[in-house]
Amino acid sequence: MNFIKHIISHKIIPFIKNWKLLNTVLGSIDIFAIALAFQCSFYLNYHNEVTFFFYNARTLKLFVLILPIWLVLLYLIQVAEIPRTKRYIVLFYQYSQSTVLIITFLMVFYFVFKLYVISPLFLIEFALIGLLFLFFARSLEYMLFKIYRSKGYNYINMVIIADDTAIPFIESMLSNKDWGYRIIAIFTGSVKIKEKYEKAIILLPDEYLTVLHDLMEVDIIDEVIYFKTRVIPSEVRYTVRSCEELGVVFSLNYTGQDNKLTNAIKTEIGDRRFLTFINIPHNSFALAIKKLLDIILSVFIIICLSPILTAIAILIKTTSKGPVLFKQARVGLRGRQFGLYKFRTMIVNAENLKKGLEVNNEADGPVFKIKDDPRVTKVGKFLRKTGLDELPQLFNVLRGEMSLIGPRPPLPSETVQYKRWQLRRLSVKPGLSCFWQIKPDRNNIKFEKWMELDLAYIDNWSLRLDFIILVKTVKTVFNRTGL
């Protein structure tokens, strides 16, 4: 066991951290586990006919149908991502739920479409073997992530509004580093909390709660926890409004009493239950489909456009000095920075020339844009006009840093100039395209209107809306209205 932990700590974790492959690795392991279970079941029942299921057209089609359905089910029952505080028995129960659902689906599908050439035993064995493989894989991943999070990665920043009763909860957050929670500050009037944690955590008096709103603007705060015996409705509502404005999750310690607060879902951290207020779209099924489509469509587009991607790379390399790709720091979900990829459209020293061109800036607000930017190459102008320079961001989507559709990721220098209400656009994962990108005259749109369009997308999000934006984005590429 020590050898396994050593390998995880010194080999696997640095690899994952450097390449940011978390979402891709997890999704690939789930797909592999399901495929392996399908193959094992196929071999047990049909090994006399053919060795591998993908050699049989009928079973290959069946697998292609079942795979996305099972992946969506895993997402819906909240086991598609690595948990933070769940017990293994709870994890097994959830996987059992997905197995029961998939068996039910398979049996209904079997009798409705009269697939009598396929043995029902094969389908049942597949589901049960899939349960074992998925649970085994997730258990190993869970162990890996416990070590990963204990090293300070993949953490959630939280602020706690607390009284004496919150001490056991605070202690559990501090002692279980493998849960991946980091306490940024505690607002409290408790003498016991001050005596116990004043040297380890930033403590602020209850009456300074208004400071929380400024703190959420300047620091990366993922969640605010309200943990008091006596709930003060006006205090809670005031904090909820501020969290909603900035796109921060708010959770209230749940005691089973009716606090007359709406728009909340029940969640758990350790052995504690909370009412969590989520101010972004929370349709589990639709979000599962969106996540699955992000991966499938990104892979599909990359494969289909690989000749175009190669041609663009050759054009850039042969017409101007410098690298093919341009990597730039951008701000993503909850203010976390990541490296965004684009085809290089400017000359090599473009950033150094920016200061001398700021007087010609044609955009308002913190954004910098010039219609005839002298730093843009000839090839770069065409790429920008068609939007083809954004294609490398498909790899950002595969890495889980972006989505196909969502507000564009801003520069760090832009977000520091945001007004409070504009910060809420960081509450969802950024995307390749959104409302602003599909406007034919987008560079004439005022900055505040742009921000309003992004917030309108968040407030009205649906799969149908994503589909409409995706279609219009393709139309924008062909119409070359990018500039």
Confidence of residue 22 (pLDDT cuts 50, 70, 90): low
Render pLDDT for 58-76 as a digit per residue (tens, 0 to 9).
888 888 888 888 887 777 6
Average pLDDT, rounded, for the chain: 83
User: CA 344, CA 359: separation in Å to the nearest integer?
Assistant: 24
pLDDT given for residue 20 in this prediction = 54
pLDDT at position 285 over 80:
no
Q: Which residue has the higher pLDDT, 387 or 451?
A: 451
Taking residues 448-473, what's their average pLDDT? 89
pLDDT in tens, 228-242: 988 887 788 888 888
The radius of gyration computed from the CA coordinates of the chain, to the nearest angstrom, equals 25
Residue 377 near residue 319, CB atoms below 8 Å: yes
Tell me how far apart the alpha carbons of residues 387 and 393 are, in angstroms, rounded to a whole number: 11
Range in 106-110, 220-224, 300-304, 377-381 with the lowest mean pLDDT: 106-110
pLDDT tens column, 243-275: 888 878 899 887 765 544 445 677 778 778 787
Does residue 316 have a pLDDT over 90? yes
Statement: residue 18 has pLDDT above 60: no
Cα distance from N-terminal residue to C-terminal residue, the chain: 58
pLDDT digits (tens, 9 = 90+) for 156-172: 999 999 999 999 999 99
Query: Comparing 117 with 335, which gets the higher pLDDT?
Result: 335
Architecture of domain 156-277: 3-Layer(aba) Sandwich (3.40)
Q: What is the pLDDT of residue 143?
A: 84
CA angle 196, 202, 206 (to 5 degrees): 85
Which tops the pLDDT comparison, 275 or 182? 182
Work out the pLDDT band at 112, boundaries 50, 70, 90.
Answer: confident
Residue span(s) of the chain under CATH 3.40.50.720 come to: 156-277
Do the beta carbons of residue 187 and residue 161 sit within 8 Å?
A: yes
User: Which pLDDT score, from 0 to 100, does residue 306 have?
Assistant: 92
At 350 the pLDDT is 76
Tell me the per-residue pLDDT of 122-152, one tens digit each, with 9 for 90 and over: 889 999 999 999 999 888 888 888 888 888 8
Contact assessment for residue 337 and residue 331, using Cβ atoms and an 8 Å cutoff: yes
For residue 170 the two structure tokens come to: 């605070």
Q: Which residues pair with 158 in a beta bridge?
A: 183, 223
How much is the average pLDDT of 77-98? 78
Q: Residue 78 carries which side chain, given as an amino acid letter?
A: Q
SS3 of residue 391 by DSSP: coil
Could you give the count of Cα atoms lying within 13 Å of 299 in the half-sphere of its Cβ? 9
pTM: 0.64
Residue 477, C-beta contacts closer than 8 angstroms, at least 6 positions apart: 386, 387, 388
Whole-angstrom CA distances from 265 to 94, 253, 275 are 18, 12, 5
Answer for the pair 149, 179: CB distance below 8 angstroms, yes or no: yes
Angle between helices 306-319 and 284-304 (to 10 degrees): 60
What whole-number distance in Å separates Cα of residue 173 and Cα of residue 186?
Answer: 12
Q: Does the structure show a pLDDT above 90 at 49? A: no
Task: Rounding to the nearest 10 degrees, give the CA dihedral for residues 223, 229, 233, 237.
Answer: 0
Residues in the chain: 483
